[in-house]
Structure 1
Amino acid sequence: MALFTVEDVHKTFHNGDVQEEILKGVNLTLNEGEMTALVGASGSGKSTLLTIAAGLQSTTEGSIIFGGSNLATMNAEQIRQVRASKFGFVFQFAHLVPFLTVEEQLFLMLGVAETVWSKAEQQQQIDHILSLIGMNHRKKMYPTSLSGGEKQRVAIARAIIHQPKVLFADEPTASLDSTRSKEIMELLKDITKKLNITTLIVTHDKEMLPYVDSIVKMVDGVIQ
């Protein structure tokens, strides 16, 4: 079932008198409980499309439909609320807070997401998610004690701790070796199915494509 749709989206950047159209009428449908890979050469527009879909930047033209609402017509506060409560984000680097333990990273995210859970409910959710990603035994550790793969697992936990509907992942395996990359993709696939999340992942690595449900290729600002 379609959960998220991008409808005729254009994005033009202005540099003085020069205009550069990065997205040229993109249409995309993301289904609930599925992971979609967005692939294409550098400069094709895939990261721009991901950030627009995630509400991190505006469209020049077109609609982003989620939950029956159009993100393109929302004000900044409305978009912030959707991002905080309904979306999760994973990037190339984990960007963990260095002075917080694994467990504290997740408590912080629950605060950012403005959840109404009690402290006991938050702890239960944290323990559940850390078990899901195989990191419960490391919850009292600081980022300096974690490997690159472990840090990325914590970043994924942070992205899903508040039970988002959509997970956006921008090159989440680019900083990892091939073994750790496959482990992270297997984890993302598992999470997508078990939690019924809609996942959109930007990747340039063809080795990661067997893990996804569908592949969308972008060329020069359009989907082929």
Structure 2
Amino acid sequence: MAIFTINDVRKKFTNGEVVEEILKGIDLSLQQGEITALVGASGSGKSTLLTIAAGLQPASDGQIMFNGNNMTDMDQEQIRKVRASEFGFVFQSAHLVPFLTVEEQLILMLEVSESKLKKEQQKKEIAHILKLIDMEHRKNAYPASLSGGERQRVAIARAIIHKPKILFADEPTASLDSKRSKDVMELIRNLTKTLNITTLMVTHDEEMLAYADHIITMKDGLIK
């Protein structure tokens, strides 16, 4: 079932008298519980498409439908609330708060997402997520003491602790070696299936495509 659809989305930038069209009419549907990977050369428009889909920048034209609602008709506050409560984000760098423990990173995310869970329920949910990512034994550790792979696992846990419907992942393995990249992608795939999340991922690493349900290739602002 398509939970997220992108209809004829376009993005233009104006530099003086020059108008550059980055996205030239993109149509895309994301299925619940599946991973869709966006691939393409640098400048193909894949990262622009992901940030527009995630509500981080507006489209110049087109329509983005999420869960039956047209996001292009929403104001900034409405989009912010959707991002906080319904979306999760994983980037190339983990961006963990250096003075918070692993457990505290997840508590903070629950607060930011305006979770309705009571303290005891939060503790149970955090314990469950830490078990899923095999980090229970590191819940009191600070980011500086974690390996690169561990930090990225915590970043993924932080992205899904509030049970978002959509996970946006922008080059989630780019800063990792081959083994850790596979471990992280295995985790993303398992969580996507276990929690029935819809994942949209940008990647340049062809080995990571084996974990995707759908592969979308972009070139010059279009889907090939």
Q: Partner of 1:185: helix, strand, or coil?
A: helix
Partner of 2:83: 83
Take 2:150 and 2:101, find their aligned partners in 1: how far apart are those partners?
13
Take 2:208 and 2:68, find their aligned partners in 1: how far apart are those partners?
31
Partner of 1:130: 130
Partner of 1:52: 52
Take 1:139 and 1:16, find their aligned partners in 2: how far apart are those partners?
51
Take 2:171 and 2:96, find their aligned partners in 1: how far apart are those partners?
17
The answer to whether the aligner puts 1:170 opposite 2:159 as a matched pair is: no
**Percent sequence identity over aligned pairs:** 69
Task: Write out aligned runs for 1:151-170 (5 A).
Answer: 151-170=151-170
Take 1:80 and 1:9, find their aligned partners in 2: how far apart are those partners?
20
Task: Write out aligned runs for 1:171-186 (5 A).
Answer: 171-186=171-186
* Amino acid in the other structure paired with 2:95: H
Take 1:22 and 1:70, find their aligned partners in 2: how far apart are those partners?
22
Residue 221 of structure 1 and its aligned partner are, at CA, apart by 0.2
Find runs of 4+ consecutive structure 1 residues off by over 4 angstroms: none
* Amino acid in the other structure paired with 1:102: V
Take 1:19 and 1:129, find their aligned partners in 2: how far apart are those partners?
46
Q: Partner of 1:10: helix, strand, or coil?
A: strand
* Amino acid in the other structure paired with 1:207: E
Take 1:11 and 1:203, find their aligned partners in 2: how far apart are those partners?
21
Take 1:17 and 1:109, find their aligned partners in 2: how far apart are those partners?
43
The answer to whether the aligner puts 1:211 opposite 2:201 as a matched pair is: no
Take 1:154 and 1:8, find their aligned partners in 2: how far apart are those partners?
35
For normalisation by structure 2, the TM-score amounts to 0.99
Residue 116 of structure 1 and its aligned partner are, at CA, apart by 1.0
The answer to whether the aligner puts 1:201 opposite 2:201 as a matched pair is: yes
Take 1:212 and 1:76, find their aligned partners in 2: how far apart are those partners?
31
Per-residue CA distance 1:122-151 (angstroms, 9 max, x = gap): 111111001001111100000001000000
Q: Partner of 2:24: helix, strand, or coil?
A: strand
Q: Partner of 2:173: helix, strand, or coil?
A: coil
Per-residue CA distance 1:12-57 (angstroms, 9 max, x = gap): 0111221110000000000000001000000000000000000000
Take 2:96 and 2:28, find their aligned partners in 1: how far apart are those partners?
31
Task: Write out aligned runs for 1:55-70 (5 A).
Answer: 55-70=55-70
Gaps of 5+ in 1: none
The answer to whether the aligner puts 1:99 opposite 2:79 as a matched pair is: no
Partner of 1:29: 29
Q: Partner of 1:22: helix, strand, or coil?
A: strand
Take 1:188 and 1:66, find their aligned partners in 2: how far apart are those partners?
21
Q: Partner of 2:163: helix, strand, or coil?
A: coil
The answer to whether the aligner puts 1:40 opposite 2:40 as a matched pair is: yes
Q: Partner of 1:51: helix, strand, or coil?
A: helix
* Amino acid in the other structure paired with 1:220: D
Q: Partner of 1:41: helix, strand, or coil?
A: coil
Higher deviation after alignment, 102-111 or 14-23: 14-23
Per-residue CA distance 1:162-216 (angstroms, 9 max, x = gap): 0000000000000000000000011011000000000000000001011110100
Matched pairs, number: 224
